[in-house]
Amino acid sequence: MKLRKKESRSNSYTAQYVEECYKTHLHKVVRFAYTYLGDANASYDVASEVFTILWERRDSLDFSEDIVPFLMTITKHRSLNRLKRLRVRNSYEKGIYNSNKAALEMNYRSLSFVGSMDIFSKEVEQIIYDSLEEMPESVKNTFIMSRFRELKYHEIAKIEGVSIKAIEKRISTALKILRISLKEYLP
Amino acid sequence: MEDLIFKYLMNGCSNEEQESLQKWIEESDENLRLFSSMQLLYLSQTLPGSRADTKEELELFKAIREGSIRSRERKVFAPKYLLVASIAILLLLNLFINFIPFNRHYVDSYSAVASGQGDSYNHTLYTENGVKGYIVLPDSSKVWLNSGSKIIFPDKFSGKRRVVKICSGEFFFDVVSKPDTPFVVQTNFDMRVEVVGTAFNIRAYSVDNEIQTSLVSGALTLIKGTQIADKEEVAHLQPNDSYLVKGDNSSVLIKNSQVVSTQTAWRRGELIFEETPFEKVIQSLTRWHGTTFYIDDPEILNFKITASFKSASIIEIMEMVKFCSPIDYIINENSITLQKRK
């Protein structure tokens, strides 16, 4: 049997999509993994696994669709795998990971509890915009600076002329409001 | 406790605080739900929008691409042999099944023709798509009919020539040698083939708008026009020559035994595509298997396929097509819808 793969013309476009996707979303994937793993190296390892999968499946993916929930789903599974391995290792290498043991347990349980990754979908944006109106003015401004301008808390504190603690308090308030309006997207 | 969760999420907290948080989470699913929700929510609202385009990050992407290409090649390697082995087994089974219909589907419809040859009858033998045929002519010459082919021949040869007429299709002739009565095939392309005793293949599907004659053994003369009076010789073929005339009357003589082998492959139950545009592949498969094709995206027709099949079922063929091209298929009874894979 003879067999030769014919590269289709569309393949070079798909490769570009994947590269663009990598550039746009790598930091998000790394942040996701880091939140649960608390280890920068491991987070980059997970991210490279995630984008390897994206690369290999590029022909069957629809890049016009919202790709972030898809990326985050893979990231979740990959991160969970690592957490599971760390837990097993922790159980017989007593003492080595003690300082992180509580965090590891919490993060493992927390991530296992997470289902859908739709919280990362574009449709959530609109709900967030609507929720802004429910927030007190100062909370709203602080949240916008943090969420959309990606300013650090100390930067916002400087602009607002209040303490970092006060900014953290405002962000907490904003998150509590969002937790209610986004409850369908949360565990 | 909520404050502690926020503290953990925003700044991290001390070991003791982490341990008390952990204990609280393990107390109830409600606590776990709250923690899990807040952690995911906080994460979703703090995702960085920055682009990854530092040198190191671009290097990492290159490594991902190359790494996965290598692992992909490895992956393909093993299943390829599995595939070949499994298809080989299926083919052996198919071979037996395929040969039975030869006679069973042989449709012999008689049509009385008042011709200059006295009271002889002309027989018409045709094969539907998906069916092949085989007939022994009155002089013991043999003819194999590929799918969708039609031949007219008399119930006995008389006169100085043995004349048969093909209407459309593909035929393999194995002609009994009779030096004083040449064997003539009148084609549907204003051309005839004259031989004495040879084995040759004629592919002359009207829709293809081209006629290709390939000589396996003996000698063969191509003559323009179908009437005996026409004497303009177009070409003399030697064994392993193939002569192709296209609709625009351009012609080419191919001296390549590989081409002749490919041309006659159908008789051995083989379907061969070499850089064949999908448009032609569909035509072949429609004839070969009697399947109707529907196409979602005209771009599909431009893809080229290189593959060979031996008595493969349409599903085996489509699986292979899917494997070596970006085309996916949906089978619905006797029709197949082709789609570009997304």
Beta-carbon contacts of residue B285 (< 8 Å; ≥ 6 apart)? B271, B291, B293, B314, B317
| pLDDT on residue A149 | 84
Burial class (CB in 10 A: 0-12, 13-18, 19+), B259: middle
Is the Cα dihedral B161, B162, B167, B168 positive or negative? negative
Question: What are the CA-CA distances from residue A174 to residues A133, A159, A185 (Å)?
Answer: 11, 18, 16
**pLDDT, position B117:** 44
Name the band, by pLDDT with cuts 50, 70 and 90, for residue A108: very high
Does B85 contact chain A (CB < 8 Å)? no
- The tokens describing A13, both together, are 């476009």
Query: How much is the pLDDT for B73?
Result: 41
CA-wise closest residue to B342 among A22, A68, A10: A10
> Which residues of chain A lie closer than 8 angstroms to B3, CB-CB?
172
How does DSSP assign B176-189, residue by residue?
Answer: PP-TTS-EEEE-TT
Task: Using an 8 Å CB-CB cutoff, list chain A residues near B340.
Answer: 10
Q: What are the pLDDT digits (tens) for A157-182?
A: 999 999 999 999 999 999 999 999 99
According to the model, what pLDDT value does residue B72 have?
41
Beta strand B251-255 pairing with B335-340 = unpaired
Give ipTM to 2 decimals: 0.92
Q: Is A147 left (phi over 0), alpha (psi -120 to 50) or beta?
A: alpha
Both tokens of A69, joined, read 């929930």
DSSP code per residue over B291-333: -EEEES-GGGGG-EEEEEEES--HHHHHHHHHHHSSEEEEEET
Paired with B151 in beta bridges are B125, B166
- Selection from B223, B131, B125, B242 nearest residue B182 by Cα: B223
> Beta strand pairing status for B335-340 and B292-295?
parallel
Tokens of A179: 């937790």
The closest CB to that of B64, out of A48, A60, A187, belongs to A48
Mean pLDDT by 10 residues, chain B (342 residues): 89 85 93 95 92 88 75 43 54 45 35 41 80 85 89 85 90 89 90 89 88 90 82 86 85 84 84 83 84 82 81 80 82 82 72
CB neighbourhood size of B117 (10 A): 15
Best of B22, B27, B47, B316 to disrupt the A interface (most A CBs within 10 Å) is B47
> Closest partner residue to B60 among A10, A48, A183, by Cβ?
A48
**Closest Cα in chain B to A176:** B38
Give CA–CA dist A33/A53, Å, rounded: 16
Supply the Cα-derived Rg of chain B in whole angstroms: 33
Contacts of B341 (CB under 8 A, 6+ apart): A59, A60, B322, B326, B327, B328
| A144 vs A150: CA distance, rounded Å | 8
pLDDT in tens, A31-86: 999 999 988 888 999 999 999 999 888 888 877 788 999 999 999 999 999 998 88
A144 touches chain B (CB under 8 A): no
Nearest to A178 among B33, B41, B47 (CB): B41
Q: Which two tokens stand for residue B239?
A: 């064994």
Say if residue A1's pLDDT is above 70.
no
Number of H helices, E strands in chain A: 8, 0
Look up residue A23 and give its amino acid: K
